[in-house]
Amino acid sequence: ETGVTQTPRHLVMGMTNKKSLKCEQHLGHNAMYWYKQSAKKPLELMFVYNFKEQTENNSVPSRFSPECPNSSHLFLHLHTLQPEDSALYLCASSRSPGTSEENEQFFGPGTRLTVL
Amino acid sequence: SQKIEQNSEALNIQEGKTATLTCNYTNYSPAYLQWYRQDPGRGPVFLLLIRENEKEKRKERLKVTFDTTLKQSLFHITASQPADSATYLCALHRDDKIIFGKGTRLHILP
């Protein structure tokens, strides 16, 4: 496979469940990102990892827990979510974050999450 | 607080005409700005990047302008086609910060 892949594509979970979203990039990039996209709202950056180290956490609630075991894989662990957390969760990768002027983001197809 | 506004939620343009989308920002000084295209059920796809010291950038039928005085970027699609129908997002970057606009849904009418 090429590019950025995400699994599952759709997820329905109850508020007491624990689930994980997975992202994998086959582009040799060093930076990976989690975004949340809700209807009528801008894409919100949640977490940034650069060379497996978390460099950004935009005040995301602790019920979202990221994990980056290596520069090709990124997980988002979910527990005790709320209905307002229902959204499209997008993973992206880039060569590196920061001031690189050609820092194009490559996005995966997203996971459509519904919390009941 | 930092804010990005994209001119409208939806824009209808007749096929063959030029579509112009607007991205305005306040309380921010981006090092560069990017435009992305997003189709339903898919992640955004990068289209063009323009730096703070550049006025204009072109790629095939696409043109982007960047006015740091007006704090505005314009995104033009010339000779528009129905296949150009999608949501277009602007994104501002400085250091590790990335801010996206809500997007504009563009419909090219045949």
Q: Kindly report, residue by residue over A25-59, the tens digit of the pLDDT.
A: 999 998 999 999 998 788 999 999 987 777 777 78
Averaged confidence pLDDT in chain A = 89
pLDDT at B16: 97
Q: In this structure, what DSSP letter does residue B78 have?
A: S
Is residue A35 within 8 Å of residue A89, measured between CB atoms?
yes
Q: Residue B74 above 90 pLDDT?
A: yes
Q: How far apart are CA B94 and CA B33, in angstroms?
A: 9
Q: How many CA atoms are closer than 13 Å to the CA of B85, on its beta-carbon side?
A: 11
A5 touches chain B (CB under 8 A): no
Predicted pLDDT at A95: 86
B53 touches chain A (CB under 8 A): no
Q: Which residue has the higher pLDDT, B2 or A110?
A: A110
Q: What is the mean pLDDT of chain B?
A: 92
The CA distance from A77 to A67, in Å, is 8
User: A112 with A11: CB under 8 angstroms?
Assistant: yes
- A61 and B CB contact within 8 Å: no
Q: Which of B31, B41, B89 sits opposite A43 (nearest CB)?
A: B89
Distance to chain A for B9, nearest Cα, Å: 9
Q: Which of B36, B45, B96 sits opposite A56 (nearest CB)?
A: B96
Do β-strands B3-6 and B19-26 pair in parallel, antiparallel, or remain unpaired? Answer: antiparallel
A10 and B CB contact within 8 Å: no
The alpha carbon of residue A116 is apart from the nearest alpha carbon of chain B, in Å, by 21
Identify the residue with better confidence: B24 or A2.
B24
Q: Give the residue from A45, A38, A35 showing the smallest Cα distance to A83.
A: A38
Please identify which residue in the block is written with the tokens 């996206």: B100
Residue of A nearest to B49 (CA): A102
In angstroms, rounded to a whole number, what is the distance separating the alpha carbons of residues B26 and B101? Answer: 12
How many CB atoms within 10 Å of residue B6? Answer: 24
C-beta atoms surrounding A62 within 10 Å: 7
Mutate to test the interface with A, among B1, B48, B66, B96 (most CBs of A within 10 A): B96
Asked if B10 has any chain A CB less than 8 Å from its own CB, the reply is no
Furthest CA-CA distance within chain B = 42
Chain A nearest-CA residue for B43: A109
Q: Tell me: pLDDT of A98 over 70.
A: no
Chain B: give the shortest CA distance to residue A41, in Å.
6
